[in-house]
């Protein structure tokens, strides 16, 4: 009888220990796992989409292609000046952005941003490339955005050559809902 009581008491103690351990882990991690703002600030990707389209904040985004260049030229064949360090290449992501019903279009356009991401968590911001054949901004008065019609957009990134094999796609951010969308090629 003593052996059965000891086994039952030992099983109860182990069960209690496991419950306390699980409760303490839950309480410790709950703030990080359940806090969308903290996850957003840590750079978490919420959704991965193959090519798109994905709707973020009244805009529909679709990734058409990502092309690598050593230099860019304008429509007249002249080189476009971009701050490009040695050992880097230019990646042009061609996107289609559609302003949907309810999105506020201003007379001079609006701001739209995408960043380039690799599988190691590195992000690159787009750089300006004036006179590129495709508009590089959604606020171009020469190429107005029309509601519910796709707008061809080029985002130009300067990245190290060794990062090319690790590139995943472009990231679109929805700051209102603390979401990041990775659109892959």
Name the nearest CA neighbour of 56 among 92, 21, 97: 97
**Alpha-carbon span 97 to 8, nearest angstrom:** 66
The domain locations on the chain are 2-34, 45-184
> How far is the C-alpha of 111 from the C-alpha of 27, rounded, in Å?
41
At residue 46 the predicted structure's pLDDT band, cuts being 50, 70 and 90, is: confident
- Return the pLDDT at 105: 80
Q: What does the pLDDT read at residue 45? A: 87
Q: 45-184: what CATH class?
A: mainly beta
Question: pLDDT averaged over the chain?
Answer: 87
Residue 122 DSSP symbol: -
Task: Give mean pLDDT, residues 153-175.
Answer: 93
What pTM, to 2 d.p., does this model score? Answer: 0.77
Distance CA 118, CA 67 (A): 15
């Amino acid at each position: 009888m003593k052996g059965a009581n000891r086994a039952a008491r030992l099983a109860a103690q182990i069960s209690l220990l496991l419950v306390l351990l699980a409760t303490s882990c839950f309480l410790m991690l709950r703030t990080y796992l359940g806090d969308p703002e903290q996850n957003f600030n840590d750079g978490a990707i919420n959704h991965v989409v193959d090519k798109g389209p994905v709707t973020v904040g009244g805009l529909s985004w679709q990734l058409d292609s990502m092309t690598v260049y050593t230099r860019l030229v304008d429509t007249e064949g002249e080189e476009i000046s971009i701050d490009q360090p040695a050992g880097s290449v230019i990646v042009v992501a061609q996107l289609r952005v559609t302003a949907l019903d309810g999105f506020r279009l201003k007379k001079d356009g609006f701001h739209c941003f995408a960043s380039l991401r690799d599988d190691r968590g590195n992000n690159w911001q787009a750089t300006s490339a004036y006179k590129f054949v495709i508009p590089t901004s959604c606020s171009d008065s020469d190429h107005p955005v029309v509601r519910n019609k796709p707008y061809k957009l080029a985002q130009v990134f300067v990245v190290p050559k060794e990062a090319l094999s690790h590139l995943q796609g472009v990231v679109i951010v929805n700051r209102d809902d603390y979401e990041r969308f990775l659109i892959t090629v």
